[in-house]
């Protein structure tokens, strides 16, 4: 496995792999602090691509001024060993100055899907995400880039950016990986206290409740969201609900009536730790083929 810190080094590694016969190059963008969710993306990439690149870069431009950029876990040697054990061909771990050199002045903004939910609560976050992902796609030049379904809005934003800018890459979305009690894997789970960790599975429980309600024929997004909030209040008293949204899966506009498909997305704060999760609701019995947006 090759480890690269500069753009020139990673481009050379990819060119060498293509010259040796690699038909497909896969990219798994990460901020490091790798866990089994990340490794599942690497495995999916390795099953499809002859050469897999993983980026390890804590991107400063997607953090707000009061967020945890300085505290975000950094464990390069452990991450490198994990990548190698999952058959990764090259790791790109640049310093911030390599990605954002002096004089850097360009930002990629994707309107619409970036504005609700995370976008409304973390101003500028998706501009930072789009900018760094666009740079990584340009630097590595992959055929396929792999992302996890846990960050549903991030995937929607990146897909919109790739489509609008005619980027020659396919975005592959892999299932959320969970702990046995349902908590979605996240590098930020390490911040939780023991008591907070015991309550955090309530996020997944509330999503299962939403699925059950839709499966029984409940069509009111308001009723489903209210049930989620009640469950979180009962089971995750240490948490503060940031949002519960039921949205169209493409536009991310709120829906009033669930007729399928519709995405339930939520965010809950446990002290300084903010967890997100989502699920896609099944069609209620006799449902139509789309959720009805609010007007």
Q: Which residues contact 36 (CB under 8 A, 6 or more apart)?
A: 177, 185
- C-alpha span between 168 and 284 (Å, rounded): 37
Residue given tokens 């707000």 in the structure block: 64
Identify whether the C-beta of residue 132 lies closer than 8 Å to the C-beta of residue 57: yes
> Helix-strand-coil percent breakdown of the chain, rounded to 5?
40, 20, 40
Q: Give the up-direction half-sphere exposure of residue 95: CA atoms within 13 A in the CB hemisphere.
A: 4
38 is catalytic: yes
Of 194, 155, 197, the residue nearest 179 (C-alpha): 197
User: In whole angstroms, what is the distance from residue 94 CA to residue 82 CA?
Assistant: 18
Residue 142 C-alpha from the chain's centroid: 18
Using alpha carbons only, give the angle 135, 184, 127 rounded to the nearest 5 degrees. Answer: 25
Pairing of strands 273-281, 262-270: antiparallel
Q: Name the active-site residue from 38, 86, 125, 231.
A: 38
169 close to 143: Cβ distance less than 8 angstroms: yes
- Where in the sequence numbering do the catalytic residues fall? 38
């Amino acid at each position: 496995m090759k480890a690269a810190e500069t753009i020139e080094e990673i481009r050379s590694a990819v060119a060498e792999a293509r010259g040796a016969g690699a038909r497909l190059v896969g990219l798994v963008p990460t901020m490091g602090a790798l866990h089994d969710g990340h490794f599942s993306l690497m495995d999916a990439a390795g099953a499809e691509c002859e050469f897999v690149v993983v980026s390890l870069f804590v991107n400063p431009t997607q953090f707000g001024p009061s967020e945890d950029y300085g505290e975000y876990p950094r464990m390069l040697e452990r991450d490198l060993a994990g990548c190698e054990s999952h058959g990764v061909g090259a790791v790109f771990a640049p310093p911030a100055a390599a990605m954002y050199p002096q004089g850097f002045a360009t930002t990629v903004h994707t309107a619409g899907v970036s504005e609700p939910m995370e976008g409304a609560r973390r101003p500028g976050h998706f501009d930072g995400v789009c900018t760094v992902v666009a740079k990584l796609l340009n630097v590595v030049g992959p055929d396929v880039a792999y992302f996890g379904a846990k960050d549903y809005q991030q995937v929607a934003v990146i897909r919109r950016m790739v489509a609008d800018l005619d980027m020659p890459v396919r975005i592959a979305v892999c299932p959320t990986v969970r702990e046995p009690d349902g908590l979605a894997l996240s590098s930020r789970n390490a911040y939780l206290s023991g008591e907070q960790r015991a309550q955090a599975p309530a996020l997944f429980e509330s999503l299962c409740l939403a699925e059950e309600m839709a499966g029984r024929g409940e069509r009111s997004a308001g009723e489903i969201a209210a049930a989620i909030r009640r469950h979180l209040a009962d089971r995750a008293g240490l948490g503060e609900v940031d949002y519960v949204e039921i949205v169209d899966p493409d536009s991310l506009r709120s829906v009033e009536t669930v007729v399928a498909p519709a995405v339930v997305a939520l965010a809950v704060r446990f002290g300084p730790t903010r967890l997100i999760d989502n699920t896609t609701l099944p069609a209620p019995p006799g449902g139509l083929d789309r959720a009805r947006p609010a007007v």
